[in-house]
Amino acid sequence: MKKKLLFLGPPGAGKGTQANLFCKKYGLDHLSTGDLLRDEVSSGSVLGVKAAEVMNKGELVSDDLVLSIVEARLVNIHQGWLLDGFPRNVNQANSLKSLLEKINQPLEGVVLIKVADDYLIKRLLERGRQDDNEQVIINRLKVYREKTSPLIDLYSKQGILEEIEGNADIDVVFSCIEKALGG
List residues near ligand AP5 by CB under 6 A.
9, 11-17, 33-34, 37, 54-55, 58-61, 66, 85-86, 88, 92, 123-124, 127, 131, 140, 166, 170, 173
CB of 40 to ligand AP5, least distance (A): 10
Shortest-Cβ-distance residue relative to ligand AP5: 34
CB 93 within 8 A of CB 154: yes
CA dist list (Å): 17 to 7, 11, 21, 92, 143: 11, 12, 7, 23, 21
Nearer to ligand AP5, 159 or 162 (CB): 162
Instruction: Classify each residue of 3-28 as buried b or exposed e, where b means 16 or more C-beta atoms within 10 Å of its C-beta.
Output: bbbbbbbbbbbbbbbbbebbbeebeb
Nearer to ligand AP5, 137 or 159 (CB): 137
Nearer to ligand AP5, 12 or 159 (CB): 12
CB 128 within 8 A of CB 18: no
CB of 2 to ligand AP5, least distance (A): 20
Distance CA 156, CA 36 (A): 27
Sheet holding 29-32, edge to edge: 29-32, 81-84, 4-8, 109-114, 161-165
CB of 28 to ligand AP5, least distance (A): 16
Nearer to ligand AP5, 2 or 140 (CB): 140
CB of 60 to ligand AP5, least distance (A): 4
Nearer to ligand AP5, 9 or 109 (CB): 9
